[in-house]
Amino acid sequence: GPEWLAEARRRFDRYVEDPAANATELPDEYRVPVFQAVVQNGGAKEHATLLETFKKLTTNIDQKHVFQAIGFSREEKLKTEALKWAISGEVKIQDFFYIMGSVSASSRFGLDLSWSFFQREFSRIHSMVKTASPSIMDSCIACCAAGFCSAARADEIEAFFEAHPLPLNKRKIAQMLEEIRTNAKFLDLAVATDLAKEQFWKELAAASR
């Protein structure tokens, strides 16, 4: 609610002034959800503030808090800026996919945006990680595509990787496609039952009174 968000903003503002001195204002366990809430309910100013704060941070865990929140803006432009930042060279290879994961976790639109970005920038991403551990590309693929839940989307992803083969990531891609298709079947079954009908929930609520 408004009170929680106001308190989140107060703590956010204190923390970003001086992350080292004001760390206790925003303890580790609350930092990511507070960052996400402020960015999601803000705009370009909050987005820019978080990026500026990143430059002040010295530990990887603190930097990761920024990566996990920067994609939560509601604006497509700011989400796209976050994705571009991920592959700009300013972020370590072992961390860049967290930003993509942040965008895809933020909303259904964010997931679509991340997957489109991955396809569009595939050559660049591939060249970035080609000498790194295959687990880095595994993580990047999962962050950009694992959240889908339709057979049609699984077919699209499969076709993309058939056209852009990644032998070292073949197992991860196969596991992900199997998971998407399993979840899609479960969703189709759920939609075909009373669970998808508003009347079911109305009657359940009435019975529990």
CB atoms within 10 A of CB 190: 11
In the numeric block, the tokens 């580790």 are attached to 28
How confident is the model at residue 197, as a pLDDT?
A: 75
pLDDT at 38: 95
**pTM to 2 decimal places:** 0.89
The secondary structure element, H or E, covering residue 94 is none
Given a contact cutoff of 8 angstroms between Cβ atoms, the answer to whether 110 and 104 are in contact is yes
pLDDT, tens digit (0-9, with 9 covering 90-100), for 174-192: 999 999 999 988 888 877 7
Q: Quick one: tokens of 119?
A: 């396809």
Return the higher-pLDDT residue of 37 and 196: 37
- Spatial distance between the Cα atoms of 79 and 82, rounded to a whole number of angstroms: 5
Residues 19-32: pLDDT tens digits?
A: 999 999 999 999 99
Predicted pLDDT of residue 135: 96
In sequence order, what are the residues at sequence separation of 6 or more whose Cβ sits closer than 8 angstroms to the Cβ of residue 74?
40, 107
pLDDT of residue 207: 79
- Closest residue by Cα to residue 102 from 136, 75, 64: 64
